[in-house]
Amino acid sequence: MKISIAGASGYTGVELLRGLLAYREIEIVQITSRQYAGHKLKEIFPHFSSSKFSQLIFEEELDLESADIYFLCLPHEPSVELVKKLVEKGKKVIDLSAAYRIKNPQAYTDYYGFEHTYTDLLQRAVYGLPELFRDRIKDADIIANPGCYPTATTLALYPAVKEGVVEKMTITVNALSGISGAGRGLKQPFHYPEAFGNAYAYKPVKHRHIPEMEDVLRAVSGKEYRIRFTPHIIPVSRGMVSTVVFKTPLKKEHLIELYRLEYRYEPFIRFSSQPPQIKNVIGSNFCDIYVDRDDRTGDAIVITAIDNLGKGASLQALQNFNLIAGLPEDKYLKDLSESIVFP
């Protein structure tokens, strides 16, 4: 199976390459990067020097014919156009941008600052969260790989929303993310002297992941939930914790039973008896979940931990790849401990 990766020099592209090292069924026919065009992978990322991908050469422009499946690790607007071109040629696309995640095109104008004109493709795209939509993912030609915050938050909410045990329509989410979530480009707040020893909230109103989360909850429940979302940056390279609070009539033991029943066959969901820590999920495709209830206030507290570049991006993209390629869903993704994590 022939694969191309557009934008392979960013964090998500490098993480894809790390995950693909174990695959024997694939051939990477092209990796692109305008910044590093003409350079070998091992020259830019020395930790690949002894790997089977070491001699891959970054190219500037993507060949739309040479691969069967394309991974797009690009900004949102370029992905909008590129997805259209690829599907018109009969290719399958796993898009790691937000370009096709939200069904309502107005959300792109309101939250992303551009007009999305391919409404037919928005409806055709399948949201790539396997725990919710694996049956649709298997036959999709456009997979909109979820964002990191929406992955952590939706997995924390899905069982309760699906079963209708969330009493109020507004749900409070506070999430912590490592700095790599901002991408590899230089930005002043993420320079070492500014980020080290620092932590802060950002975009406490109108964060662009809000319509994505609400869109998925609408799809699985038919209800108009509102997410009161506050993201925070913490001084670590990678990792994410999402704390979700909502009113529920269920007692703690029944709430835990509901979550365990819903996720009982999920290969990448792990339940924790204590609030989860990011160190236990770094470099993996796992989502660790803790479920509790505050009887004093009537609030459920569900806390998830993921690797924002793993389950929150590239390794989840490979989970989706396994589904559309007809491979076991967890193949090669359960143990990645021997490969070097970057960053």
Of 148, 255, 281, 306, catalytic: 148
Q: Where are the beta strands (DSSP E) in 248-298?
A: 269-271, 287-294
CA distances from 84 to 70, 80, 95, 106 (A): 12, 7, 11, 19
Contacts of 320 (CB under 8 A, 6+ apart): 94, 128, 130, 137, 143, 145
- Widest pairwise Cα distance in the chain: 62
Polymer length of the chain: 343
Q: What single DSSP character describes residue 311?
A: I
Q: Identify the H or E element spanning 132.
A: helix 130-137
Query: What is the DSSP code string of 61-78?
Result: S--SSS-SEEEE-S-HHH
Q: For residue 41, is it left (φ>0), alpha (ψ between -120 and 50) or beta?
A: alpha
Please indicate whether residue 73 is annotated as part of the active site: no
**Pair of tokens at residue 262:** 């819903």
The rounded distance, in Å, linking the Cα atoms of 121 and 237 is 34
**Neighbour-count burial for 222-253, b at 16+ CB within 10 Å, e otherwise:** eeebebebebebbebbbbbbbbbbbbbebeee
The catalytic site residues sit at 148
